[in-house]
Structure 1
Amino acid sequence: MQRKFWLKWLWSLLLVGLLTMLAACQQGAGGGNGAALGDPDFSLVLSKARVELPFGTGQEEVLVQVVAKNGFNGAVSLSLEGVPQGLEVAFNANSVTPQSTQVVTGIGATTLVLGRGSAPSGEYTVKVVGVSGALRREATLHLSIPSSLVPNRVYDFSQGIPSDWTVLDHTGNGGWTTVDECNRNSDYGPLDPIVPPFAIIDSDCLGEVDVDTELRTPPLNLSGYATVRLKFDHYFYFNENEIGDVDVSTDGGNTWINVARFQGEDVGPETHTVDISNIAAGQPNVIIRFRYYDANYDWFWIVDNILIEAQ
């Protein structure tokens, strides 16, 4: 008899507890005189905090989640701020409408697709912005676009002249390109070790006009290296007065030091190596340029397979 009494008492106690918890939940959800959870709102959550877009790679995708709470169920328009010029960006859906209740969180999602495009190398902070009415929420994406030319890796112009290189045409009559318009590869080839596409400036093809043009690499950080050698394959086909210079700058291109000069005779096709350690080793802002000038209806200069050997 005593056992039945205690069991009945325990069941009554459990029932009271369950009823109390249910009442608390109802009040928390906005029923009765309980406290409300808060105003309808949303936040943005990214699947990646950082994205790197090396030269020659494909696209990167970032999942963008719109997390709704407290009964928010409005449409959220998505956009980006701080995007570098030339970067390829697209949302699979520019607007997301998550659904939530007072006690259930809702999630909507879309995919942000990023491509390097012609964006210059550098480190960027991009904001993913969501707006719904007066509400504006942000999430930060750190974006890294490395240089197309890095120490100890050959650049062969198979993908053209990258956007972070610079071509200067001082006369306006024609500059460096990867278009072999006058078919030097077929007429003078094979050009081993040069393989098309390559960088070329062709004075003969441009005709009876003055030519003065530069091909500049992006800045190189060589501060961690004690030995630096520049290697490149080239073919300098000479006619009369034209000059091909290879110069190095350590101050962003304000001043230049000549490390190789081609004039007065045909050179190549060959691999040319020059030790530039005394100029470039330990320097954080090194630019190399290939300058072709004093040309007028002369021949051509081809450059390929540029390598900065650094140790």
Structure 2
Amino acid sequence: MANLSAVSVFILQGFSTVPALQLMSTVVFLLIYLASVLGNVSIMIAVTLDPHLNTPMYFFIKHLSLVDLCSTSTTLPRALVATMADTKEISLPACASQLFAFVCFGSLECFLITSMAFDRCLAIYRPLTYGVTMSSQTCVSLVVVAWVSGLLFSTFHMVNTFSLPFCGPNTIDHFFCDIPPLMRLACGNTQDHEAAGFIVSGCVIMSCFALTCLSYVLIVYTVVHIRSAAGRWKAFSTCSSHLATVILFYGTGSSAYMQPTAHYSPLQGRMAAIFYSILTPTLNPLIYSLRNKDMKAALRKFYPQVPC
């Protein structure tokens, strides 16, 4: 990979190109990162230690929190340190590793969200066989498949991106090594690489999205046939948190990756990245705890002085 590139070091632009906004954005994103760490770690501890949360739904939520924690830790700490220490250089291998990790955790979230939709669908559409179908072995298998698929997906994108020659300039107009801004820096013909990445990403994202939509079609079909209003509300309330996560994930991430590089806007890309790489992983713990009585009860055991 190094032999194909005349650039050995990249320079990350940071959160903003306006110097006056750098310090303010650093403070804001530091607080957001601390909130993300606290929220996701709390969810993982609560699900692990509370026996009442020993169900498939919370098993997936725990792994989603782990992925969210790893995702934000892949990009934010380095960006914060680089801004505060004014050391924005990143070596080519480090840049490739960061891209690999970020794409891996992003795709993992996509696969986990799909598994969670399948879980909710079975719980509502086939409640009598739910306990047998969603056994602990099935849950572990779905998580393992998600990890293997995420590793393969990120390996493809890392190779597809860094097999291109980079001859300069070497300034990445972003706060981390992401695919669209790197493609813009390549000095070779990127059309084939861009097309390959678009096709693979499109197939994976659309397949997961289609399976998620199918799950919700079955859920809605079942809910509307429930006679009592209380029963309909109870069934739908178990999906509301997951539905909010689906909207956040696909609404922000797809807008950044499902468009040609020629139409990529650095400012728009940076703003979209803030949503899908920072805000979404930070909001997920709130989404899964604010309207969940069992989760709030578990968290209250660890933070008795904090109202939940």
TM-score, structure 2 normalization: 0.22
Greater Rg over alpha carbons, structure: 1
Greater helix proportion: 2
Greater strand proportion: 1
**Which has the higher relative contact order, 1 or 2, with Cα contacts under 8 A spaced 6 or more apart?**
2
TM-score, structure 1 normalization: 0.21
